Amino acid sequence: MSRFRKPLLFFCDSLILLGVTLTLSKFSLRYGLPDAVGRGLLLKHLLVLYACTAVFQLLFHTYDSLWRYAESREYLSLLTAAFCGFLAYEVISRALMDSVISFILLVAIACLWVLGMLLVRFSYRVYRSRVLFRRGGPRVPVAIIGAGAAGVQLLEELQSNPDSHYTVQCFFDDDPAKVHNRIHGVEVKGRIADIPDRLRAMDIRELLVAIPSISEDRRHEILQELSGLERVRVTILPSTLDLIAQKPIRSQLREIRIEDLLGREPVRLDPAPVDDFLGGKTVLVTGGGGSIGSELCRQIAKHHPKRLIIVDIYENNAYDIQQELLYHFGKRLNLVVEIASVRDGERLRQLFAMYRPDVVFHAAAHKHVPLMEQSPQEAVRNNVFGTLNLVRTADEYGVEKFIQISTDKAVNPTSVMGATKRLCEMILQSMKGQSGTTFAAVRFGNVLGSNGSVVPLFKRQIAAGGPITVTDKRIIRYFMTIPEAAQLVLQAGAMARQNELYVLDMGQPVKILDLAENLIRLSGYVPYRDIDIVETGLRPGEKLYEELLIASRDIEKTENDQIFVERQPGITPEELRGKLAVLSAALEKNDPTVIRDALHQVVPTFHEPEDLNRDQGDEVRIPEPNVEEKENSVVCGSATR
């Protein structure tokens, strides 16, 4: 029917004009109104009137509008076109024709014709919303939080789009001027704080948060309030910038993400230093197909490197990021993908001799804590000796900067993985004064959405009907997003000086149990009734909390208050060689117990998890580090908190 929409509407308007004119003309003749047009001239006047009004309706494109979405602009255009048409007729009839329709009769025809056109259009909108929509089956009763521009736009689309399966019952908004008033027939029931009380008397099954411009702190407060509601699902509109995309606003409603509940603004760092750092450079990324490595490659590509080299042992991941970058950047990016292991020193020297990288980001590592507890020899070979191979090769081929990806699990480690990552930091420390290459490490916490992250696991478990599994209900963790982690790594590379270790202020740690309960509630379920939460016990090597900083050492703030530098005591090459000799001897025996004992010997801060976990009560507390602010600290651009 869309092909015939304009002709049908034009035909309806013509019939209305014809009917109104004939009826009123007949009425005027019957009652002998002055200056009434005689029957013989009526057809002539009607044709001129019709031609004038039709021309202006076409000039104002009133038939090009989709009246299901009509607003004040469309109605104003319709009225203006009608006024111009009747005015043109009045001028033509008085100047060129022998008789005229009385002015009163002309005004009556104009008013009734416009009223008829509006009635047709309103009738169509009512038909769409009340008849066509009802054919789609039962609809979900929802409330919209936020009666601003985004909320009203969302309401209009939900009311006018046949694909919508929602029926909006009410608004909630903190603006006192809006409370108890109506918007498009929908009442603003109260303030956001009134939602729990109001919903008890209403059959609302879903809340749509449509306040894209609010701060992350306020969003966090609202979501925390809503997380206490039972059997009410929550979805949320993204930021205002995302709404600019030419998509229906309803399609941008998304599920609640754990990031929404972290209670801090996303970290955004100044890209200018990174542009200067990477522009025109040959950059090599090990583990470039992994979660962090692939995001590093995406962001590096935006800074116009001379060449980007992705090195990974797992060909499938490397292929995926290669195809993604080629799709987005095409020939603008000089991209090379090499399949290689950091364990193979000879292969690394071959690659460095071929490409001569200026900057190396080392993201290749075995990272899964329980798996490395079972296979400590693999963690040592890959993480420790693989890093050693890469550091020596970078030194040999004169790399400008080498950035190591580290982890909060390297601080007072309780796992093989954490101990090996602490050794990697020591390897970089040992190069101080020994090389022209700048070696630095970047340490951050859990990465949301990475391979093995708890968030996708929770969502899969909820979708399957539960239960959600947590290893211990006391566990707390620091969280950041993959883009935040990649930004920190690149920023650290830009500001790095010899043998520095950079740490991001990640806000307050988050209790995993709270995340699980909130995610269940915001998915429309009741924790422990609809979706159970089961405690499975700590996994091998797992501790109740992670630390970003070594509490016994002083750390320095940079001029960016979100980035710290930890000044660690140096380790000499001789000390490192002794530690590596102990590990090499343990590897030759290929006994996990011997290798674990060797790690305890070479990493003094390596403790068994039971030693740290048994000291914690019902509420876990993290040791606080001492922070020094120094005038000559390293500068790291601006960030928005």
Q: In angstroms, rounded to a whole number, what is the distance separating the alpha carbons of residues 411 and 550?
A: 6
Q: In angstroms, rounded to a whole number, what is the distance separating the alpha carbons of residues 134 and 374?
A: 59
H/E stretch holding 439 reads strand 438-443
Structure tokens at 51: 């031609």
Q: Quick check: is 281 catalytic?
A: no
Half-sphere exposure of 67 (CA within 13 A, CB side): 23
**For tokens 């048409």, what's the residue?**
85
Q: What are the DSSP E strand ranges found in 224-327? A: 233-236, 254-255, 268-269, 282-286, 307-312
The three-state secondary structure class of 198 is helix
**For tokens 């169509």, what's the residue?**
124
Q: What is the separation of C-alpha 424 from the centre of its chain, rounded to a whole number of angstroms? A: 32
**For tokens 């120094």, what's the residue?**
630
Dihedrals phi, psi of 418, to nearest 5 degrees: -60, -40
Name the CA dihedral angle for 383, 384, 389, 390, rounded to a multiple of 10 degrees. Answer: 50
Q: In angstroms, rounded to a whole number, what is the distance separating the alpha carbons of residues 1 and 16?
A: 21
Q: In angstroms, rounded to a whole number, what is the distance separating the alpha carbons of residues 597 and 580?
A: 13
**For tokens 């090195």, what's the residue?**
311
Residues sharing a CB contact under 8 Å with residue 583, sequence separation 6 or more, in sequence order: 380, 384, 385, 423, 595, 598, 599, 602
Q: In angstroms, rounded to a whole number, what is the distance separating the alpha carbons of residues 205 and 142?
A: 6
Pick the closest to residue 125 from 160, 162, 78 (CA basis). 160
Work out whether the CA dihedral 234, 237, 239, 240 comes out positive or negative.
negative
Please tell me which residue in 409, 421, 543, 579 is annotated as part of the active site. 409
Q: In angstroms, rounded to a whole number, what is the distance separating the alpha carbons of residues 252 and 426?
A: 46
Structure tokens at 111: 């008013």
Work out whether the CA dihedral 241, 245, 248, 254 comes out positive or negative.
negative
Q: In angstroms, rounded to a whole number, what is the distance separating the alpha carbons of residues 553 and 414?
A: 19
H/E stretch holding 404 reads strand 401-405
Strand-pair partners of 443: 503
* Alpha helix positions (H), 291-433: 291-301, 315-329, 345-355, 369-374, 376-379, 386-396, 416-429
Yes or no: say if 214 and 187 are a contact pair by the CB < 8 Å rule.
Answer: no
Q: How many residues does the chain have?
A: 641
Active site residues: 409
